[in-house]
Amino acid sequence: MVIGIDLGGTNIKGALVDGEGAIIAKLETATRANAGPEAVAGRISGIITDLEAMANDRERRVPGIGIGVPGQSDQAQGTVIFAPNLHWHNVPLVKYLHRITRLPIFLENDANVAALGEQWRGAGRGSVNMVMITVGTGIGGGLILNGRLYSGTNGSAGEVGHTVIDPDGPQCSCGRRGCLETLTSATAMVRMAQEAIDRGEETDLVRVENLEAKDIFMSAEAGDKTAREIVNKAAYFLGIGLGNLINIFNPDTIVIGGGVSKAGDILFKPLRRTAMEQALDAPAAVVRIIPAELGNDAGCIGAAKLVFQAVESQDHYSLHRKGEIRD
Ligand SMILES: [Zn+2]
Whole-angstrom Cα Rg for the chain: 20
**Cα(325) to centroid of ligand 1, in Å?**
42
| Distance (Å) from CA 53 to ligand 1 centroid | 42
What percentage of residues in the chain have a pLDDT greater than 70? 96
pLDDT bucket at 121, cuts 50 / 70 / 90: very high
For 11-22, b/e burial (b = at least 16 CB within 10 A) is: ebbbbbbeeebe
313 pLDDT band, cuts 50/70/90, is confident
How far does residue 316's CA lie from ligand 1's centre (Å)? 38
CATH code of the domain made up of 123-293: 3.30.420.40
0.85 exceeded by the pTM?
A: yes
Give yes or no for a contact between 233 and 192, defined as CB atoms under 8 angstroms apart: yes
Q: What is the pLDDT, as a whole number, of residue 326?
A: 46
How many A from CA of 113 to the centre of ligand 1? 21
H-only helix segments in 16-108: 37-57, 93-97
At residue 302, the 3 state secondary structure works out as helix
Residue 322 pLDDT greater than 80, yes or no: no
172 CA to centre of ligand 1 in angstroms: 5
| CATH number of this structure's domain 2-110+315-321, picked from the four choices 2.60.120.10, 3.30.420.40, 1.10.1520.10, 3.40.140.10 | 3.30.420.40
Asked if the model's pLDDT at residue 325 lies above 90, the reply is: no
CA of 211 to the centre of ligand 1 (A): 23
Beta-carbon contacts of 285 under 8 Å, excluding residues fewer than 6 positions away, are none
- How far does residue 178's CA lie from ligand 1's centre (Å)? 7
Q: What is the per-residue pLDDT across 151-201, written as a single tens digit (0 to 9) for each?
A: 888 788 999 999 999 999 999 988 999 999 999 999 999 999 999 999 999
The per-residue DSSP string of 136-148 comes to: SSSEEEEEEETTE
Pairing type for strands 148-150 and 130-135 reads unpaired
* Distance of CA 168 from the midpoint of ligand 1 (Å): 13
Q: How far is CA 38 from CA 45, 83, 96, 139, 212, in A?
A: 10, 14, 7, 28, 33
For residue 134, report the distance from its CA to the centre of ligand 1, in Å. Answer: 15
DSSP letter at 59 equals T
Determine the distance separating the centroid of ligand 1 and the alpha carbon of 141, expressed in angstroms. Answer: 13
Sign of dihedral through CA atoms 75, 79, 81, 83?
Answer: positive
CA of 139 to the centre of ligand 1 (A): 9
**Which residue, 254, 318, 304, 298, is CA-closest to 19?**
304
With contact defined as beta carbons under 8 Å apart, do 131 and 247 qualify?
no
The Å distance, Cα 137 to ligand 1 centre, comes to 13
Distance 71 CA to ligand 1 centre (A): 14
Please provide the average confidence, as pLDDT, over all residues in the chain: 93
Residue range(s) occupied by CATH 3.30.420.40 in the chain: 2-110+315-321, 123-293
Distance 91 CA to ligand 1 centre (A): 24
- Average pLDDT (97-113) is 93
How many angstroms separate the alpha carbon of residue 212 from the centre of ligand 1?
21
Mean pLDDT within 68-88:
91
Which residues make Cβ contacts (< 8 Å) with residue 73, sequence separation at least 6? Answer: 79, 80, 81, 93, 107, 108, 109, 155
